[in-house]
Amino acid sequence: MQHAVRSRAAIRTGLTPVPRPRTPGVTSLIDADALRVLHRAARCLLDDLPDLTDRLVALLDEQEPAYRQALTKDPSATWQEAHRSLRHSVTSLLDPRGAREAALRCSWRIGAVRAEQGLPLDALLHAFRLGGSLVWQRLVEETARAAPEDVRLLVHVAADVWNFVDEHCTLVADAYRQTEWRIGRRRENRARVLAAGLLDGTGRIADLPEAARALDLPEQGRYMVVAVAGGPPGHPAEGRPSAGRPDAGRPAVGRPAAGRAAAVPSGSRVHWHAGPDVDYGIVLVTADGGLPDPNDPVSEPRASLPGLRIGVGSPVDGLAAVGDARRLADTALEICPEAGGTVRLADQLPAALVVSSPGLGRALADRVLGPLLRLEPADREVLLDTLTTWLDCDGSAQRAGERLYCHRNTVLNRLRRCEQLTGRSLSRPADVVEISLSLTTRRVLRD
């Protein structure tokens, strides 16, 4: 391995590697001579460090576009960074043990700072390798100037020089990735806090611009919230798409990714917020107030998984009103049957009224349907089923009979009995409204 590194170094310098003698005593003498030559050249580099820094900065400006931008913004900071790194590198050639920790700290800090600034990692590693190449080139130049016959001795320390460069490149990459991971977690946690504030209505108006950036959603858009609960046990989806993109956010355990896909059509711009019991999707809706689907503009979300419940609220204006949209989605979710299904609030407003005031709904149902509900279970269910079917068939006894597999006269006889028990007339609109709301109460209030 060391021989391979020395060979690469020889290629860079245009020198022919000199084989090491086998005799231990001679080998020690050559190593001592090589270190003497290295130290002499390194001291010269240390004395001329500003010029060495200028040359490295010029190379970065010429060869690395990312550093070219950094130099445009703050040339002094980039120069100082290069100067510190080169100083530690050259000092490490003179005192490997004493200077090691300071050099490692310097490289780690550079990796962390550049990650925070968003400089690409490839550019950063290129800069370190350019610095290593420049140091090696200047060591050879200085030795050739002072004592040309000693240039061949540098081959014996080439492995140490390039191992130093490789070690620091690895360290810089580790620092960069760890910092990048921490930054990602901070952004993710901040986005979660901001989304939670929007959904529960506690977010500050002053935070709206930041929330819009964090969720990658327009502050003044038109939104609805989709609530997803239940479904078969699932697992978090692989990866974490960025906020505001289709299917963005991190799926929660218990609600599989397929559940979210069923709730929001493909192509929707949505930010998902995972909760312990319910996942909420903040959806940017189309101009007509519907959920977008490039293939079918009138498509509806569908709960296709057993036990998956989806509640779709009504549209609101702006991120500031997302809390209202979440409450509407919760109301729609309450209407969903336990077995699963999808409820769009706009299509279930009577049921939403009942859910919003369950006490009044139960009082109305008890007053209107009380005598009927106190019948024997079999008799009661037949009459309630007949009433519900008749209302679903728009008051047609003929169609209700077909659906119930009985004669229309049987339907009419059952309806008359309902009228007698409830004291309401099915020919009086106000009474029909009371009966319909009472039946809705019985259906949606499951406790």
> For 354-366, what is each residue's pLDDT tens digit?
888 888 888 988 8
* The pLDDT of residue 203: 86
* The pLDDT of residue 141: 93
Q: pLDDT-derived band of residue 28, with 50, 70 and 90 as boundaries?
A: low
Q: Are 108 and 33 in contact (CB under 8 A)?
A: no
Q: Over 70: is that where the pLDDT of 24 sits?
A: no
Most confident of 124-133, 306-315, 432-441: 124-133
* The pLDDT of residue 14: 36
CATH of domain 357-444: 1.10.10.2840
Domain 2-182 matches domain 357-444 at the CATH topology level: no
Residue 296: phi and psi, rounded to 5, are: -150, 95
Token couple for 49: 């460090």
* The pLDDT of residue 447: 54
What's the CA gap between 86 and 65, in Å, rounded? 21
pLDDT tens, residue by residue, 40-94: 999 999 999 999 999 999 999 999 999 998 888 889 999 999 999 999 999 999 9
Q: Over 80: is that where the pLDDT of 298 sits?
A: no
What's the CA gap between 234 and 251, in Å, rounded? 9
Distance in angstroms between the alpha carbons of the first and the last residue of the chain: 75
* The pLDDT of residue 79: 95
| CA distance readout (Å), 276 to 180, 229, 258, 259, 447 | 28, 10, 18, 15, 22
pTM tops 0.75, yes or no? no
Question: What are the sequence ranges of the domains in the chain?
Answer: 2-182, 205-347, 357-444
Nearby residues of 274 by Cβ (< 8 Å), 6 or more positions away: 249, 250, 251, 252, 255
Token couple for 130: 């350019």
Q: Over 80: is that where the pLDDT of 404 sits?
A: yes
Q: Which of 228, 195, 226, 222 minimizes the C-alpha distance to 326? A: 226
What's the CA gap between 286 and 223, in Å, rounded? 9
Q: Are 102 and 88 in contact (CB under 8 A)?
A: yes
Q: Over 70: is that where the pLDDT of 16 sits?
A: no
* The pLDDT of residue 17: 35
Which of 107-121, 125-139, 173-187, 306-320 has the least mean pLDDT?
Answer: 306-320
Mean pLDDT over each residue of the chain, to the nearest integer: 82
* The pLDDT of residue 104: 94
HEC per residue, 102-128: HHHHHHHHHHHHHHHHCCCHHHHHHHH
What's the CA gap between 321 and 317, in Å, rounded? 6
What letter represents residue 339's amino acid? A
3.40.50.1970, 3.40.190.10, 3.30.70.140, 1.10.490.10: which CATH number matches 2-182? 1.10.490.10
* pLDDT > 70: percent of the chain: 82
| CA distance readout (Å), 321 to 41, 65, 200, 222, 324 | 69, 43, 10, 9, 5
Q: Which of 232, 250, 253 minimizes the C-alpha distance to 241? A: 250
* The pLDDT of residue 242: 39
Q: Over 60: is that where the pLDDT of 236 sits?
A: no
Instruction: Give alpha helix (H) positions in 303-396.
Output: 322-335, 349-356, 358-373, 377-392
| CA distance readout (Å), 398 to 392, 401, 410 | 12, 5, 10
Q: Over 70: is that where the pLDDT of 198 sits?
A: yes
Q: Are 200 and 284 in contact (CB under 8 A)?
A: no
Q: State the CB neighbour count (10 A cutoff) for residue 405.
A: 7
Residue 316: phi and psi, rounded to 5, are: -130, 165
